Structure 1
Amino acid sequence: MAISFDKALGVHPHAMLIRSQRAELLASNIANADTPGYKARDVDFAAAMKQALNKQQGGNHMSMTNERHIRGGSSLVGSTELFRSPNQADTGDGNSVDVQVERNLYMQNALEYQASLQFLGGKFNSLKKALGGQGA
């Protein structure tokens, strides 16, 4: 009998991928805090998870980088990437990044990533025990 990793691991691999992509966006926001005209971006996590779960049910897809390649999908974030509304008035340069907000969001995202990583580790330990490797 084959093991379905999608069923065994649940949503945690998708959550980790989305959280890592979100960390990149938040880090980019922080790095561009002084760039005139830069707009802060973020991910709608719920929409990204829904999109990831829909792709999971539809099967795996590959990205196409050459016209002779097989058609495939793209990254999970894609259409769930949004611009964040600024909390403060425009300072005159058109930049909407609030560094303190971005740092807080980055830290929260890192903690949630760690939580998903621990859940995933627990799932792997459970699978290992189920397969008879309890001596670890």
Structure 2
Amino acid sequence: MNIFSNNINLLQRALDVSSLRQKVLSNNISNVDTPGYKTLDVSFEDILKNEQEKSIKIPRFKGYRTDPRHIAIGSQMNDLFQPKIVVQNQTSIFNHENNVDIESEMTKLAENNLWYNTLTQVTNKEFGMLRYVITEGRR
């Protein structure tokens, strides 16, 4: 029996991706003056949107295992959402073929920080509800 909802699994993946994006954006900022360096970014939102659209269009059913030796129905969250690091090759801002725009990267970094903080707050709320059910639900 899994006591964690899909929300918690999805939040975990989103936090992992946000952490990865923070590393990638920090790497971009640290290479702002490196000749030939191309901006990297993490593509996750597009994958998530596609999966959400698929889940809306396809009717889902819940399967139950009556024996632990049976094969589990459905796929794991970790199999569905794999972030991809994408190289931005379109432009070169400076003569030394570097396309890192420091203002853009700092904006993305701030957005990612807000996103991460929001995800942690939502995760805390999910665990708070779970804690409430465990401690107060028995009354």
The TM-score with structure 2 as length reference comes to 0.69
Structure 1 unaligned residues grouped into runs of 5+: 62-72
1:102 aligns with 2:105: yes
> Which amino acid in structure 1 is aligned with residue 75 of structure 2?
G
For residue 135 of structure 2, give the secondary structure of its aligned residue in structure 1.
coil
Query: 2:44 & 2:36 partners in 1: Cα distance?
Result: 25
Residue of structure 2 in register with 1:59 after alignment? 76
- CA deviations 1:69-128 (Å, max 9, x no partner) are xxxx8x933xx2112344xx5421111100111011001001001000000000000000
Are the equivalent residues in 2 in contact too, given 1:41–1:83 (CA < 8 A)? yes
Structure 2 unaligned residues grouped into runs of 5+: 53-73
Are the equivalent residues in 1 in contact too, given 2:36–2:98 (CA < 8 A)? yes
Residue of structure 1 in register with 2:15 after alignment? 16
Are the equivalent residues in 1 in contact too, given 2:44–2:82 (CA < 8 A)? no
Are the equivalent residues in 2 in contact too, given 1:42–1:81 (CA < 8 A)? yes
Residue of structure 1 in register with 2:43 after alignment? 44
Larger radius of gyration: 2
Query: 1:52 & 1:12 partners in 2: Cα distance?
Result: 15
Deviation at 1:7, TM superposition (A): 2.5
Residue of structure 2 in register with 1:76 after alignment? 82
Judged with a 3 Å threshold, the aligned counterparts in structure 2 of structure 1 residues 32 and 26 are, in CA distance, closer, same or farther, namely same
Query: 1:51 & 1:92 partners in 2: Cα distance?
Result: 37
Query: 1:132 & 1:17 partners in 2: Cα distance?
Result: 29
> Which amino acid in structure 2 is aligned with residue 105 of structure 1?
K
Q: RMSD between aligned alpha carbons?
A: 2.9
Deviation at 1:45, TM superposition (A): 2.2
> Which amino acid in structure 1 is aligned with residue 85 of structure 2?
E
Query: 2:17 & 2:51 partners in 1: Cα distance?
Result: 9
Moved over 4 A (4+): 50-53
Partner of residue 120 from structure 1, selected from 93, 118, 123: 123
